[in-house]
Amino acid sequence: MRKLLIPVLMLSFMAAGTAYCHYSWVDFDNFSPLPGAEVKIFLCNGHYFPKSEIALKDRLITDKKIISCEGNISTFTTVAEKTIRKGSVVFEDAGTHVVTFSLMKPVKKEPLFCAKSIITVGSGVEEDFSYELGQVFEIVPQKAISLLKEGDSLPLKLLYKGKPLKSSLLVTVMLDKPVLLFITKKNFTLGTGSDGKGVLRIKKAGKYLVTAEHKGRGCSLTFYVGQD
């Protein structure tokens, strides 16, 4: 009995550590707006995507960027409201835009968490657009997000300080249509090889959150795949 007790306790602590891991991410009320439309932006933090549980402190947030399809860079502002930070953005140009922020402790030289989100405005088609931004820790899609549909495969690359990282990615999907009438969310993991590459199967339409951890740092990627 004693021999069994130690492994059981170890598994319990490991499970608890996983359950209490916080992630940060960027969310929108509309991932496919028309040009010129106002979009609500949310900076979220918590365990259970898409619900934010903690309003991030403004002093910890850095690198708030909007990178347009033409490579122009602007910023945005948010305010804390209970368990979330909210703001609004107007995307004037059609095409793909990337929105980012990082979490940085005052005494640290590098961010503890890097968040990235991809939003497609109008029906703009991506041409020679790179999702690699040079963040300390980032998940980089290797295929145009705006062209994804159910049944497609999305190659991803995990980079840590610019170098490929072999690790695991946690994927959470908020489904557009419930499965078996009541299942609205799916969670699963996928691995990356020594080249940092892994393949995400887009089985269902919905909002995707992909996260990774390494050496006490984390990163996230959010995007949306619509129905045909």
Does residue 6 lie within any of the structural domains?
Answer: no
- Predicted pLDDT of residue 21: 53
Decide if 14 is inside a domain. no
**CATH number of the domain to which 185 belongs:** 2.60.40.1930
What residue numbers bound the domain in which 169 lies? Answer: 21-225
- The pLDDT value recorded for residue 31 is 95
Measured CA to CA, the distance from residue 17 to residue 13 in angstroms comes to 6
In this structure, are residues 224 and 208 in contact, taking their beta carbons and an 8 Å threshold? yes
Identify the pLDDT of residue 50: 86
Does residue 8 sit within a domain? no
pTM over 0.85: yes
Residue with tokens 């989100």: 117
Q: What is the pLDDT of residue 181?
A: 64
pLDDT of residue 182: 73
Closest C-alpha to 41, from 97, 95, 111, 106: 97
Residue 101 within a domain = yes
How many domains does one find in the chain? Answer: 1
Name residue 9's beta-bridge partners. Answer: none
In the predicted model, residues of the chain with pLDDT beneath 50 are 1-20
Within a domain: residue 55?
Answer: yes
The pLDDT, as a whole number, for residue 149 is: 93
